[in-house]
Amino acid sequence: MKHIFVTGGVVSSLGKGLTSAAIGMILERRGLKVSMQKLDPYINVDPGTMSPYQHGEVYVLDDGAETDLDLGHYERYTQARLNRYSNYTTGKIYSEVIARERRGDYLGSTVQVIPHITDAIKDAIRNGVAPGTDVAITEIGGTVGDIESLPFIEAIRQFALDIPVGDVMFVHLTLLPYLRASGEMKTKPTQQSVGKLREIGIQPDVLICRTEQPMTDDMARKISLFCNVRREAVIEERDVEFSIYEVPTMLVKAGLDRIIARRLGLPVEVETDLTDWNRMIEDLRHTTDTCEIAVVGKYTALHDAYKSIYESLAHAGIANGCKVKLRKVRAEDYADGGPALIEGCDGLLIPGGFGERGVEGKIKAIQHARETGLPFFGICLGMQCATIEFARNVLHLEGANTQELDPHSPHPVIHLMPDQANVHEKGGTMRLGACDCDLVPDSLAHRLYGAASIRERHRHRFEYNNEYRARFEAAGFATSGVNPQRDLVEIVELKNHPFFIGVQFHPEFKSKPLHPHPVFDGFVAAALAHSRGAHRGGKPERSRA
């Protein structure tokens, strides 16, 4: 088994996660089995308690682990099976070491960063490897040179010492800044960040240089010379013009697939087969159809907060042969501005969320979609808001709310799940991970999934209140997915509407570019039908679902 460690230098946000995922994909397309892992240097035990402002979206795995959003890239680009061992933070490593110390496992020794923390990191790396893996890819979060990254970099250096030389390689991602004033790109930051790595004892085998402008051969030679990396292993990864899906293709064109194969002693004469992937990009390039989706949420200013949702919409666009334009609307603005803010949109998506801010705006937007036949898709809090909207405006249950926002609501149509009542710790205590859901025959959900039962990932504490179920159903607000073990309502939909569905789970975590999620697929199909109807000046067509 081989290991690839991916580090980053100069600045953060270079797209290390995406590049690591692309490397995984390239290797799979050469017939290899990969596993993917991320080590994050911050002290939080997991990102589950971090604000989207700090950290972007929290990505949830089947086993309920709340992880870094880069794991989303890994799942979208590769077949790697991820679980709670696929993402470690400094906090998680330290809590394990401290728990061992309290148990007395260290038999009286002084517990130190080296070797105890570094040993725990090495164990974590081994834990992250699934059985049968050919190549294990481990991305180190943060930037080389940060104080908090040091134990991780030290641990991967030691890790390489424990295995044969030909079984490990280091890939370093770096930035070649372009100085507009002098019209040149600079290699010095790259030299310095490689210098930092070499100080610790790691010589990168490959440098992937993120650039805005083309990297000239002269420049690559200079980097090669100063950084002690072979010329052919100094690889340009230029900002993509069109779509992030071009990254794997770009890296293969630059020869990265063969460099890795040669370095790790893997079969070199194999073709990296990206045929279907490249066809997808070409199709996307030539699509002229568009539809526009309004995303009314709390964190619309941040692209990363709803990353998987935006990705899933793009995947559904590919499946429907259209480009999906996004109109990001702050839910609070909608509360004042109203329908004018989403005028011309072909669908409304309300994402998940926590807390009060923006909720009334979301409810108003849903009312508009329900009343005007605008395709609607609500996710988690979005589904809960749709339930509240219907309760207030159709069932006339005054003061209907979720107990999250109004614990004393006279009509708690969304209430705290009973098993959450005595939960006081915040980290990792929600209803998390994949749960079963049986679909009601002939419902929209059933037609979209084409299956009788499904499993989807959850992350919530509150839930549809079954005491109101009969009233909702009688008024046409149907239940179309139910968790069989606990009789929890997981999917709601409106009967007399072109497309109106709310799901308590997070389908965005299971969509891939070549395998779009069925509900996103159906939603975008409905939005496209809406846009065609609108262009003809007529009534929107019913969706193909």
C-beta closer to ligand GLN: residue 281 or 359: 359
Q: How far is the CB of 382 from ligand GLN (least distance, A)?
A: 7
Closest CA to 433 of 517, 509, 485, 486: 509
Q: Is 73 one of the catalytic residues?
A: no
| Residues in CB range of 424: below 8 A, 6 or more apart | none
Q: In 314-338, which positions are buried (b, 16+ CB within 10 angstroms) versus exposed (e)?
A: bbbbbbbebebebbbbbbbebbeee
**427 and 46 in contact (C-beta within 8 Å)?**
yes
Strand partners, 293: 326, 347
C-beta closer to ligand GLN: residue 380 or 494: 380
CA distance 219 to 155: 32
Q: Is the dihedral of CA 412, 509, 52, 138 positive or negative?
A: positive
Considering 368, 506, 517, 530, which one is annotated as catalytic? Answer: 506
C-beta closer to ligand GLN: residue 327 or 460: 460
Backbone angles phi, psi at 163, to 5 degrees: -125, 165
What type of residue sits at position 12?
A: S
Q: Is 535 one of the catalytic residues?
A: no
Q: Is the dihedral of CA 488, 457, 378, 347 positive or negative?
A: negative
Long-range contacts of 395-399 (CB under 8 A, 24+ apart): 395/468, 395/471, 395/472, 395/475, 397/468
C-beta closer to ligand GLN: residue 24 or 352: 352
- Helix 275-286 / helix 246-253 crossing angle, nearest 10 deg: 120
C-beta closer to ligand GLN: residue 176 or 350: 350
- Which residue's Cβ lies closest to ligand GLN? 352
Considering 227, 345, 380, 437, which one is annotated as catalytic? Answer: 380
C-beta closer to ligand GLN: residue 70 or 404: 404
Closest CA to 213 of 250, 188, 176, 246: 176
| Residues in CB range of 411: below 8 A, 6 or more apart | 391, 397, 398, 399, 400, 401, 468
Judged by the rule CB under 6 A, the positions of this chain that interact with ligand GLN are 352-354, 380-381, 404, 459-462
Q: How far is the CB of 408 from ligand GLN (least distance, A)?
A: 18
Q: How far is the CB of 404 from ligand GLN (least distance, A)?
A: 5
**88 and 141 in contact (C-beta within 8 Å)?**
no
Q: Is 508 one of the catalytic residues?
A: yes
C-beta closer to ligand GLN: residue 26 or 61: 61
**40 and 141 in contact (C-beta within 8 Å)?**
yes
| Active site residue ranges | 380, 506, 508
